[in-house]
Structure 1
Amino acid sequence: MKSFLTALLLMLSISIYAQNTSDKTQIETTLNNYIDAFYKGDTTKLKLAIKPRLNKFGYWKNKESGNYEYYAHMSYEKAMEFVQKMKDEGKTRDENKIRNVEVLDIGNHVASAKVTAAWGIDYVQLSKDNGQWMIEQVIWEGPYEKAVTQKTSTYYLIRHAEKDQSDKSNRNPHLTEKGIERAKNWSNILKDVKFNAVYSTDYHRTKETATPTASANNLELKFYDPRNMNIENFKKDTNGKTVLIVGHSNTTPIFTNGLIGEKKYKMIDESNNANLYIVTISKDSKTSMLLKVD
């Protein structure tokens, strides 16, 4: 009797496994038809992939702000029109360049999956009618962004050197003699650091502070606007590099805090031009320190 029950349970397990495997294969076929439809402008494959009650919407990343913004809802009819228009206008894509389907979970009647394609990432809900798995719901984000492997990045951040304050109405003063000497001194202090880039705001006092170090490393200054700074994009652009960033009494601590992801450093006193912030970001850690160099 015990042997009979064991055999029965084994047969049931095999049957369930076979069914799940069959469902998974069919779902993957549906998902690939879905990708093909949008890559090739193929309405026939789209009809095989989506249900007439399709509900699809998503979020598109604004390149300037880095924020994701709601994108228009797409119904079954709009999806068909979009794919047909792609075909009519010859706007097809390389079908194998970016393509991945991953079945996340399979129930008796519903399933979930993830699709990675040229436009971004789709999270898909499917349902099974008459033995056929088809897509009912899609929520997506775009554009597609290739994963970046975090290399060790090191950032040195300083405030500009002493500025000329003789004319209070001048919003873009040059450095004083003392400031010029400090700028040269920064270059000397940092002479053993091999910089890949030197960033400065577009003001006389910051450019004049940054120039000696940039020249010592045979680099041209790169300009940034702290008011329109996307810190995550900046970290991607400087991944694996050693960078000097010259800013102001208010922007330098904010920039440092943005790099480390916490509000650790306060505004710099107006009389203080000696702070040196050093931030190191690796795959597994973020460290920061504040030195005062007179």
Structure 2
Amino acid sequence: MKKYLLVITIAFYTFQIHAQTAQDTIDIKRVALAYIEAQHNPNPKLMESALHPRLVKRSVFRSKAAQKDYISEYFAENMVILAETYNAKGDKFPGNPRKEVKLLDISERTASVKLLADAWIDYMHIVKTNGEWKIINVLWQYNDITQHE
């Protein structure tokens, strides 16, 4: 029994090692960077290219008046509009904005990524559909938690 378990374990880890390619890693990073760069330099087409049409972006905020937490949600359409309007005046980011992508986990069709930007952190789930990597979920927060009120 132990011999079969060892073979299954080795096979599992072998599959995990070969579950993604170097090109997948490049594409995943490119999609995460497109998401933030589309906000740095207003580019709704770039944002749209990075997002799965069913994307949901969420965060937790606190209502001061009600003293209760609530979840904010944005969808792909909101993010495309945000990419066009948020930094239209060029005053929302420093001259050399932070955009650090950390790959947390990659498998054959899914990836988890942490994006560190200037004012916030985005945790992303990225999915490979029809041969393309797209962001399908984002959970984010400001670095300064008091901005969530």
- Is this a same-fold pair by TM over 0.5? yes
Q: Secondary structure at the match of 1:97?
A: coil
Alignment-derived partner of residue 7 in structure 2: none
The answer to whether the 8 A contact 2:39-2:84 is kept is no
Alignment-derived partner of residue 85 in structure 2: 85
User: Which has the larger displacement, 103-112 or 69-78?
Assistant: 69-78
Q: What is the CA–CA distance in structure 1 between the aligned matches of 2:68 and 2:104, rounded to whole Å?
A: 24
Alignment-derived partner of residue 138 in structure 2: 138
Judged with a 3 Å threshold, the aligned counterparts in structure 2 of structure 1 residues 98 and 51 are, in CA distance, closer, same or farther, namely same
- Which of the residues 16, 19, 41 maps onto 2:18? 16
The answer to whether the 8 A contact 1:39-1:95 is kept is no
Higher RCO structure, 1 or 2 (CA under 8 Å, sep 6+): 2
Q: Quick check: 1:112 aligned with 2:84?
A: no
| Alpha-carbon offset, residue 61 of structure 1 | 7.6
Q: What is the CA–CA distance in structure 2 between the aligned matches of 1:116 and 1:28, rounded to whole Å?
A: 12
Judged with a 3 Å threshold, the aligned counterparts in structure 2 of structure 1 residues 95 and 54 are, in CA distance, closer, same or farther, namely farther
Q: Secondary structure at the match of 1:54?
A: strand
| Alpha-carbon offset, residue 103 of structure 1 | 1.0
Residue type at the aligned position of 1:127: V
Q: Secondary structure at the match of 1:116?
A: strand
Judged with a 3 Å threshold, the aligned counterparts in structure 2 of structure 1 residues 91 and 52 are, in CA distance, closer, same or farther, namely farther
Residue type at the aligned position of 2:97: K
Q: What is the CA–CA distance in structure 2 between the aligned matches of 1:52 and 1:81, rounded to whole Å?
A: 14
Q: Quick check: 1:52 aligned with 2:39?
A: no
Q: What is the CA–CA distance in structure 2 between the aligned matches of 1:42 and 1:134, rounded to whole Å?
A: 17
Q: Secondary structure at the match of 1:93?
A: coil
| Alpha-carbon offset, residue 115 of structure 1 | 0.7
Gaps of 5+ in 1: 1-11, 146-294
Alignment-derived partner of residue 103 in structure 2: 103
Structure 1 length as normaliser, TM-score?
0.38
Q: Secondary structure at the match of 2:94?
A: coil
Q: Which has the larger radius of gyration?
A: 1
Residue type at the aligned position of 2:58: F
Judged with a 3 Å threshold, the aligned counterparts in structure 2 of structure 1 residues 98 and 90 are, in CA distance, closer, same or farther, namely closer
Structure 2 length as normaliser, TM-score?
0.72
CA shift digits 1:65-124 (9 cap, x unpaired): xx9954521011111122211244444423643221011111121111111112311111
Percent identity of paired positions between Structure 1 and Structure 2: 26
| Alpha-carbon offset, residue 132 of structure 1 | 1.2
CA shift digits 1:32-89 (9 cap, x unpaired): 1111012222212201211111100113589x9xx99545210111111222112444
Alignment-derived partner of residue 3 in structure 2: none
Residue type at the aligned position of 1:16: H
List aligned pairs for 1:95-244, cutoff 5 A: 96-142=96-142, 144-145=143-144
Structural RMSD (CA): 2.9
Q: What is the CA–CA distance in structure 2 between the aligned matches of 1:68 and 1:93, rounded to whole Å?
A: 30
The answer to whether the 8 A contact 1:51-1:135 is kept is yes
Gaps of 5+ in 2: 1-13, 145-149
Judged with a 3 Å threshold, the aligned counterparts in structure 2 of structure 1 residues 95 and 40 are, in CA distance, closer, same or farther, namely farther
Judged with a 3 Å threshold, the aligned counterparts in structure 2 of structure 1 residues 44 and 115 are, in CA distance, closer, same or farther, namely same
